[in-house]
Structure 1
Amino acid sequence: MRVGIYARYSSDLQSAASIEDQVRVCRERIAREGWVLVETYADYAVSGGSMRARPGLQALMAAARAGEVDLVLAEALDRLSRDQEDIAGIFKRLTHGGVRLVTLSEGEISELHIGLKGTMNALYLKDLAQKTRRGLRGRVEAGMSGGGNSYGYRVVRRLLADGTPVKGEREIESAEAAVVQRIFREYTCGLSPRQIAARLNAEGIPGPRGGTWTPSTIHGSRQRRNGILNNEMYVGRLVWNRQRFAKDPDTGKRVSRLNPREEWVVTEVPALRLIDDDVFAKAQGQKARYAGWAGNKRQVKKRVFTGLVTCACCGGAMTTNRDRYYCAARRDRGTCKATHGIAVAELEGRVLDGLARLLVGNEAALAAFTEEFERELARLATERRTAGDAQRRQIVEVERGIARCMEFILSGDGAPGAVRGTLMELEARKSRLEAELRAATSGFPKVTIHPNLPDLYRRRVGALSELLADEATRAEAMEALRGLVTRIAVGPTETRGLCTVTIHGGLAGILAFCADPAKSAGSTEFLVAGAGFEPAAFRL
């Protein structure tokens, strides 16, 4: 019986030794039963509420699908999952693959365990969440923190006379409090969040998380009431339960949702006040006045290269403002000295026109690519055949060992138990080798080059602009084009108003090879010039 052990502990507040304890008692059970341990799978500091973010459990399920284990052993059913849907799915998939599920607490798991224990574990999670929130609410109503901390304060750690720690107390951090007061003062005097962030970064003042300041850190969100200018803690008012978090059943990630205002818990904490009421009210009035100015000018159509354009000076992202790309680090943080920008239409036109002229007009490059592509396919096929031959030889050797063990048992020359462990290990190794052989020799479809590839290729490249302009085909064309480019770096030139555009990505490596195979080893970028673009402008 080939066994895979699974162990998990749920939070970083627990000891990692919990995994070792679970594995130890499972090993003892395996030794008593005479089973063979194939592999141990573990997840450290991961909640049992979802299986999608647990690599150890995912690896265990993959091993079960591949036929590498006959039985899964865990300390208890809640180590596998506390979610009813997940635990039912795990049991269903293991049963379908002929894999038994056994725990030390419940024994061999059946449908009855899945129904009863799955419900109990789910109720445990719900009850734990309710008790935790009740405790946090009590702390908030006492004027203490309900989790997290705001910029301008520090957490106070002290002990009562009996040694009991007091959690959640805060006090004003004078240096950070001065920055908060400065932000409100400069904002009410007419400076924008972008200008304030640039000033703070220029003076080397670290942001709330130790990095640089951004405009969003200062102005925040009106709906979620976050950001420096929205934080009511600065007027001595602690607000808790503005939002709640729920796990997305498809991704397993937490998603925030706003709570109704009547569910908010508000506690007065005058000792933590940093800002006067009139200053805070003035700041809120300015935010409300400017909030909807650009609402009808927001970009609703995604650009072809959105998220791929970077500044060649600092390496940061470039964002659009009125149909031009500018360095976001300069605009939002003031940490880059780059003054160059490029129109969206010009960038897209230069990239598309440059690719079209180079790719369509270079017959030798296309022929070289086709030849190299076929050569690479042949090389990969040879490698897979070679790997399969090696595994077949190992399987033959294992089968010989199994035959010798069987011959020894049937001859009656010794106790069969003496070779029982060896025989089981050989059988397990044979199963693994056969699974590896199946994986190595399957899933590799036959790929051939279309005889009219050059003509088809020219038509597709030449029609890129038309495909992007047509709303019916724009999304598909954008996806194909963006899949070839890792990033596009835009840099300044000595001539004001002109920029260099450098494309990085797998496509650039292919083009560089086609231009000059001898020079392009490892190259992944080329230069797209303006007028008069020639293949010699490759940056290799």
Structure 2
Amino acid sequence: MANTLKMKAASYNRYSSDAQKETSIEDQIRMNKDAIERQGWQFTLAYSDYAISGATKARSGLQAMMKDAAEGRFDILVVEGTERLSRDQEDLAGIYKRLTYYGVQIYSVTSGSFVNDMHVAFDGLKNSQFLKDLAYKTKRGQFGAIERGKILSNKTYGYDIVRRLDSDGELVKGERKINNEQAAIVRRIFESYAKGLSGREISFELNKENIPSPTGKEWLSSTIAGWQSRGKGILNNELYIGRVIWNRDKYRRNPDTQKRNKQENPKEEWVITEAPHLRIIDQDLWDKVKTRQALLAKNNLPHQKRRANYLLSYLLKCGACGGGYGLVSARHYGCTKSRQSGTCTVRKTIPKDKLEQAVLSALEYQLLNRDLVNEFVTEYNAYVKTSQSSQHAQIKSVHAQLKKLETEKSNLIKAIRDGIPASELTEEFNRNAQKREQLLSLAAQFEQPAKIITTDVASKYTDAITLFSADIQSKTPDRESIDLLRHLIDKIVITPDTEHNKLTAQLHGDLAGLFSDNAEAQALLEQSDTTKTNQQRMNNAGAIAEEPEPKSLLLRITMFFL
């Protein structure tokens, strides 16, 4: 009897640029459906990605298609050409390899044939070269635009985008004109800085007068001072002296994360053109600002180098505004938002050494509380022994199921050799492969035995506290000690107590950091019913005022500072 079952076919469609018409997706779907009808297949689904590059796998349509392919929802994937799947050689080969494993064939409408290994190798090379050629042509076009005086960057504060039509009725791109109102603010910033005001002080003044920043929100000192060596920040933007810099940066896509990372090009590759009609700052004022920046950079260099070694760097939060607390002088922590933008009212600071010593005392007390650590270790080791026993039985069951699936696979292969069409067994093959993959993954997890831990696990941390306490006196902090102790601290929230004119510093931490090199212990901590919150109160000298609950591993320690 003739086989009446139709092969199920899906369509994948993509276009990569907003410059292409949106109908190009519809055109691809129509073209692919026509091909499916001509071949006598059954159309099932269409997967589409709009205005997304073929050089990346971060596409929702592609990911949905691969998921459905793994579940056996179609037998054939129809595409206009392999470049629709990917223009990246590695990605195209990977997609082809996985679809083949799922039992799905790829049909190219352009070539009128199924895709094979040779197509993938040749098309991958051709598509990759297309991307390189496209990048070269794009850059060549941009270079021509720059030479004609165009600006290819986003809108810059102090300028407006010129919108006009050329003689052919086409929109002219890349032209700017000075925004006089914003230009006056730019001049004010440069003049104030040249007179000795800091970026922080300038931002205070602008915020006090409710002058909107480039983002329309509050001004920050970083918006003004920025990053001098990278040309970031208002004080470092050379467009204000009529210089347009192009090709300063390049982007590279990380093959693992698919994210684009910015890197600075060598200066000899920069393209600089003069645009005197866009100058806002005269040369004399620009030079004064650069001279002052160079002097401050020279004086602050040692301080900047030391900052990375601080115990509490990036762990301090302001309880009033939610911003960070950082060093506002060599020896004091303060709210950075209060000092950068003036939008937080907390002006009180905490001595760096006093806060560090109080934190060390709090951690040391917890680590030396052997009842706290020992109870968890005892509970964890009992859990390990129980799980090892049940795991042995599960391993036997998994291996038995794998053996059964291998037998089923052999029978399916034999059925094909005996004359049954492979297309009729595709779903069975897919289900068998999926089950085997799941069981093999589970078996691999079983082969990683849990470890028994000992009660002296806290000793290395108490040693680190002792070492760091000595470092505070000697002013030579040890990097290893800092890294070890920071592992136990989640954050420290500093809140003003206006009634008593003091600050409250609440440490949020977790002694689970003691077991950071033991994944099983971490998992138990996450599900343990005995994990509670411990509250202690310490005065500004770091003395303990309340006893902890012994079953707690989470820390919440309150310290007061006058």
TM range (shorter): 0.7 to 0.9
1:341 lines up with 2:349 in the alignment = yes
Aligned to 1:464: 464
Distance 1:429 1:149 in 2: 54
CA distance in 2 between partners of 1:204 and 1:370 (Å): 60
Structure-to-structure mapping, 1:191-230, within 5 angstroms: 191-230=197-236
Deviation at 1:56, TM superposition (A): 6.0
Deviations 1:37-94 (A, max 9, x none): 998766554323344x556657777888999998765432223332345445555676
Maintained 8 Å contact 1:241/1:264: yes
Deviates more, 1:170-179 or 1:427-436: 427-436
Once the two structures are TM-superposed, the CA of residue 322 in structure 1 deviates from its matched residue by 1.9
Q: Distance in 2 between matches of 1:375 and 1:41?
A: 47
Aligned with 2:544 (options 504, 507, 532): 532
Contact 1:143 1:269 in 2 (8 A): no
Counterparts of 1:8 and 1:302, CA distance in 2: 49
Within 5 Å, give how 1:183-194 maps onto structure 2: 183-194=189-200
User: 1:428 & 1:95 partners in 2: Cα distance?
Assistant: 11
Tell me, what secondary structure is at the counterpart of 1:158?
coil
Is it true that 1:503 corresponds to 2:508 in the alignment? yes
Does the 8 Å CA contact 2:535/2:548 hold for their aligned counterparts?
Answer: no
Match for residue 4 of structure 2?
none
> How far apart, in 2, do the equivalents of 1:35 and 1:435 lie?
30
Alignment of 1:286-305 (within 5 A): 286-300=292-306, 301-305=308-312
Q: Measured at CA, do residues 481 and 269 of structure 1 come closer, stay the same or move farther in structure 2, by a change above 3 Å?
A: same
Q: Deviations over 1:246-275 (max 9, x none)?
A: 3155554232323435742313242x3333
Kept in 2: contact 1:214–1:332 (CA 8 A): yes
Q: Deviations over 1:333-380 (max 9, x none)?
A: 222122233344444443343233124325167425753786699799
> In structure 2, which of residues 134, 137, 142 is the aligned counterpart of residue 131 of structure 1?
137
1:267-346 to 2 correspondences below 5 Å: 267-270=274-277, 272-300=278-306, 301-320=308-327, 321-346=329-354
The 1:136/1:293 distance shift into structure 2, 3 A limit, reads same
Contact persistence 1:11–1:46 (CA under 8 A): yes
Aligned-partner Cα distance in 2 for 1:424–1:95: 11
Mapped partners of 1:381, 1:30: distance in 2: 55
Counterpart of 2:172? 166
Query: Structure 2: 5+ residue runs without aligned partners?
Result: 1-6, 412-417, 472-476, 514-520, 550-554, 558-562
Q: Report what 1:492 is aligned to.
A: 496
Counterpart-to-counterpart distance in 1, 2:159 and 2:506: 45
Measure how far apart 1:134 and its partner are: 3.1
Q: Tell me which amino acid in the other structure corresponds to 1:361.
A: N
Alignment-mate amino acid for residue 463 of structure 1: D
Change (3 A) 1:225 1:449: closer
Number of equivalent positions: 517
Residue in 2 that maps onto 1:413: none
Q: Aligned with 1:315: secondary structure? A: coil
Residues in 2 aligned to 1:372 and 1:13: alpha-carbon distance in whole angstroms? 60
- Pick closer, same or farther for the CA change 1:215–1:141 going to 2, 3 Å: same
Q: TM-score, normalised by structure 2?
A: 0.71
- In 2: Cα distance, 1:332 partner to 1:371 partner: 49
Tell me how far apart the structure 2 counterparts of residues 435 and 63 of structure 1 sit (CA, whole Å). 16
Aligned to 2:414: none
Q: 1:363 aligns with which of 358, 366, 371?
A: 371
TM-superposed deviation, 1:499: 4.1
Identify the match of residue 443 of structure 1 among 422, 427, 445. Answer: 445
Q: Name the residue aligned to 1:406.
A: none
Alignment-mate amino acid for residue 257 of structure 1: E
Contact 2:461 2:485 (C-alpha < 8 Å) held by counterparts: no
Which 10-residue stretch deviates more, 310-319 or 248-257?
A: 248-257
Q: Deviations over 1:305-352 (max 9, x none)?
A: 432221122111222342543222122222212223334444444334
Match of 2:517? none
Q: 1:273 to 1:116 in 2, by over 3 A?
A: same
Q: 1:326–1:364: structure 2 CA closer, same or farther, 3 Å change rule?
A: closer
Q: How many angstroms does 1:465 deviate by?
A: 2.3
Contact 1:137/1:146, CA 8 A, preserved across alignment: no
Query: What's the CA shift string for 1:456-511, capped at 9, x where partnerless?
Result: 2342443332676999x977766565455432212334666754232156859x99
Moved more, 474-483 or 153-162: 474-483
1:154 and 2:154 equivalent? no
Quickly say closer, same or farther: Cα 1:528–1:327, change in 2 above 3 A: farther
Determine the C-alpha separation between the residues in 1 that align with 2:437 and 2:43: 18
Partner of 1:407: none
Relative to the length of structure 1, the TM-score reads 0.74
CA shift for structure 1 position 35 = 7.2
For the 8 Å contact 2:333–2:349, the answer to whether it is kept is yes
Q: Please state how far the C-alpha of 1:183 moved relative to its aligned partner.
A: 0.8
Q: Does 1:121 align with 2:133?
A: no
Distance 1:200 1:239, change over 3 A: same
Task: Indicate how the Cα distance of structure 1 residues 9 and 240 shifts in structure 2: closer, same or farther if over 3 A, else same.
Answer: same
Q: Using a 3 Å threshold, how does the CA distance of structure 1 residues 475 and 70 change in structure 2: closer, same or farther?
A: farther
Give the residue type in structure 1 aligned to 2:459: R
The unaligned stretches of length 5 or more in structure 1 are: 404-409, 411-415
Task: Quickly say closer, same or farther: Cα 1:505–1:358, change in 2 above 3 A.
Answer: closer
Cα separation, 1, equivalents of 2:100 and 2:213: 53
CA contact (8 A) 1:342 1:499 kept: no
Q: Is the 8 A contact 1:154 1:172 kept in 2?
A: yes
User: What residue identity is the alignment partner of 1:104?
Assistant: V
Verify the 8 A CA contact 2:14 2:51 in the aligned structure 1: yes
Cα distance in structure 1, aligned partners of 2:55 and 2:468: 43
Q: CA 1:174–1:57 in structure 2 vs 1: closer, same or farther (change >3 Å)? A: same
Tell me the C-alpha RMSD between the 2 structures: 5.4
Counterpart pick for 1:75 among 66, 77, 80: 80
Q: Where in structure 2 are the equivalents of 1:416-435 lying within 5 Å?
A: 425=427, 428-429=430-431, 431-432=433-434, 435=437
Preserved CA contact (<8 Å) 2:204 2:342 = yes
Q: 1:142 aligns with which of 145, 148, 159?
A: 148
Asked whether the equivalents of residues 152 and 173 of structure 1 are also in contact (C-alpha less than 8 Å), the reply is yes
Give the letter for the 1:487 counterpart.
K
* Distance of 2:480 and 2:134 partners within structure 1: 47
What amino acid maps onto 2:326 in structure 1?
A: T
Q: Any conservation in 2 of the 1:352–1:464 contact (CA below 8 Å)?
A: no
Aligned identity (percent) is 32
